[in-house]
Amino acid sequence: MILIGERINAGFDPVAQALKDRNAENIRDLARKQEEAGADYLDINMGAISKDPEDMVWLVKTVQEAVDIGISIDSQKPEIVEPALQVCENDSLINSTTAVEEKLDGLVPLAVDYDASIIGVTSGEGGAPQDVNGRLEHAATIFSRATGAGIPPGNLFLDPVAMPLKFMQEQASNLLKSIHQISNISDPPPHISLGISNISSDATERSLINRTFLVMAMAVGLDAAICDVTDPKLVESVATAEMILNNEIYSDSFVETYRMA
Amino acid sequence: MILIGERINAGFDPVAQALKDRNAENIRDLARKQEEAGADYLDINMGAISKDPEDMVWLVKTVQEAVDIGISIDSQKPEIVEPALQVCENDSLINSTTAVEEKLDGLVPLAVDYDASIIGVTSGEGGAPQDVNGRLEHAATIFSRATGAGIPPGNLFLDPVAMPLKFMQEQASNLLKSIHQISNISDPPPHISLGISNISSDATERSLINRTFLVMAMAVGLDAAICDVTDPKLVESVATAEMILNNEIYSDSFVETYRMA
How far separated are the first and last CA of chain A, in Å rounded? Answer: 11
Asked if B250 and A253 touch (Cβ cutoff 8 Å), the reply is no
Does residue A214 belong to the interface with chain B, where contact is any CB pair within 8 Å?
no
Residue B217 in contact with partner chain A when CB distance is under 8 A: yes
> Would you say A182 and A157 are in contact if contact means Cβ atoms under 8 Å apart?
no
Q: CA angle, B157 as apex, B154 and B158 as ends, to 5°?
A: 130
Pairing, β B41-45 against β A156-159: unpaired
Taking CB atoms and an 8 Å limit, are A173 and B205 in contact across chains? no
Facing B215 at nearest CB: one of A166, A216, A252: A216
CA–CA gap between residue B33 and residue B25 (Å, rounded):
12
Spell out a b/e string for A118-157, using b for 16 or more CB atoms within 10 Å of the CB, else e. bbbbbbbeeebbeebebbbebbebbbebbbeeebebebbb
Choose the mutation target among B212, B213, B233, B257 for the interface with A, i.e. most A CBs under 10 Å.
Answer: B212
| B258 against B141, higher pLDDT | B141
pLDDT tier at B149, thresholds 50, 70, 90: very high
How many angstroms away from the CA of B244 is the closest CA of chain A? 6
Average pLDDT over residues A80-109: 98
pLDDT value of residue A260: 79
State the residue range of the domain holding B93: 2-260
pLDDT of residue A154: 96
According to the model, what pLDDT value does residue A261 have? 75
Helices marked H in A44-153? 53-66, 78-87, 101-113, 132-148
Task: Please state the domain count of chain B.
Answer: 1
pLDDT the model gives residue A65 = 97
Q: Residue A231's domain is classified under what CATH number?
A: 3.20.20.20
What is the pLDDT averaged over residues A242-260?
A: 92
Give first-to-last CA distance, chain B, whole Å.
11
Chains A & B: contacts with CB separation below 8 Å: 98
CA distance A150 to A27: 34
Question: CB contact, 8 Å: B173 with chain A?
Answer: yes
Confidence of residue A81 (pLDDT cuts 50, 70, 90): very high
Cβ-proximal residues to B138 (8 Å cutoff; 6+ apart), any chain: B98, B99, B120, B121, B122, B123, B124, B129
pLDDT tens per residue, range A51-61: 999 999 999 99
Position B260 scores a pLDDT of 79
Is residue B261 predicted with pLDDT exceeding 80? no
For residue range B83-141, what is the model confidence (pLDDT) as tens digits? 999 999 999 999 999 999 999 999 999 999 999 999 999 999 999 999 999 999 999 99
Q: Are B8 and B27 in contact (CB under 8 A)?
A: yes
Average pLDDT over residues B7-14: 96
Judged by a CB distance cut-off of 8 A, whether residue A250 touches chain B is yes
Q: Do the Cβ atoms of A159 and A194 come closer than 8 Å?
A: yes
Over 90: is that where the pLDDT of A220 sits?
Answer: yes
